Amino acid sequence: MKISEPVLGAPCWAELATSDPEGAAGFYGSLLGWRAEQDPRPEAGGYTMLLLDDDPVAGLTPAQEEGQPVGWTMAIAVADSDETAGDIRKAGGSVLVEPGDVFDMGRFALAADPTGAVFSLWQARTFRGAARLNEPGTLCWVELATRDPAAATAFYPYVFGWSTEGEEYVHWGAGGINFGGMVEMDEHHPRRLPPHWTLYFAVLNVDAAVNTATQLGGRVGYPAMDIPGTGRVAGLFDPQGGMFAVYTPESEQG
């Protein structure tokens, strides 16, 4: 689906911090059909746009510090990143990187909710965010794993105005559309694993995507499974350890 204007309060961008930008670009290019285009400006620090055809759908940045974890982060579209940073603090979250300008493209900040799950803010200027969502090769869902669902359920609606729907599996929504969900981390989740957001990318065939990912040096986080009434999903790690998931809607399964 083409996106001309991001929905305020909803995810608008996916960004990978990785120890091997070139290797990651090759992996995701083969898996999701992305083409990498690095910003040539020295001050951009090697930032790379990941394009589907000619549309930006995700970004890739080299790890900024030695030992920095490899991982995907979602950006949430906001009207004012400074004001939202204040709301995050009021709601018990923390601002990890203060709001700052990214050239003339927009204003960025990095934050964490009260349970420790990390996300970013994007106040768009010349760059609006992902030009396509919810189609093969693009971001289609985000899922919060947390040990304190009550804290998360209080935090995100306060800061971003999210709606919540469901009890056993909470759905997050903005602008009348559900874009994500939440699961409680229980005894089956390793204690060393912190609360986190998982980004889901749509694919034409989950099983084929799993096979391709493993052939490219990735590994399976959890095997492909059907979710009745929803679709088929699988959890994966890229060769550098970045965690993500792939999804095919039930209506599109062969």
- Supply the pTM of this predicted model: 0.95
Q: Are residues 163 and 61 in the same domain?
A: no
Cα(78)–Cα(8) distance, integer angstroms = 5
Q: Residue 45: what pLDDT?
A: 87
CATH number at residue 84: 3.10.180.10
Q: Is 44 domain-assigned?
A: yes
Q: Are residues 74 and 43 in the same domain?
A: yes
Q: Is 154 domain-assigned?
A: yes
- pLDDT above 80 (res 67): no
Q: Are residues 197 and 146 in the same domain?
A: yes
What integer is the mean pLDDT of 84-104?
97
Q: Is 2 domain-assigned?
A: no
The token pair that represents 125 in the structure block: 């200027």
If you write DSSP's letter for every residue of 198-240 in order, what string do you get?
A: EEEEE-S-HHHHHHHHHHTT-EEEEEEEEETTTEEEEEEE-TT
27: domain range? 11-124
Domain boundary among 92, 124, 156: 124
Cα(199)–Cα(13) distance, integer angstroms = 10
CB–CB of 119/159 below 8 Å?
Answer: no
Q: Are residues 58 and 163 in the same domain?
A: no
Q: Are residues 114 and 51 in the same domain?
A: yes
Q: Residue 128: what pLDDT?
A: 95
Of all residues in the chain, the percent with pLDDT exceeding 90 is 85
Give the total number of structural domains in the chain: 2
Q: Is 239 domain-assigned?
A: yes
Q: Are residues 73 and 145 in the same domain?
A: no
What confidence tens digit (pLDDT) does each residue in 143-182 have? Answer: 999 999 999 999 999 999 999 999 889 999 999 999 999 9
Q: Is 50 domain-assigned?
A: yes
What integer is the mean pLDDT of 198-225?
98
Domain boundary among 61, 92, 124: 124
Q: Are residues 172 and 209 in the same domain?
A: yes
Q: Is 70 domain-assigned?
A: yes
SS (H, E, C) 153-184: HHHHHHHHCCEEECCCCEEEEECCEEEEEEEE
Q: Are residues 120 and 175 in the same domain?
A: no
How many other CB atoms sit within 10 Å of the CB of residue 214? 12
Domain boundary among 124, 148, 178: 124
Q: What are φ and ψ of residue 221, in 5° steps?
A: -85, -50
Q: Is 35 domain-assigned?
A: yes
Q: Are residues 221 and 180 in the same domain?
A: yes
Q: Is 6 domain-assigned?
A: no
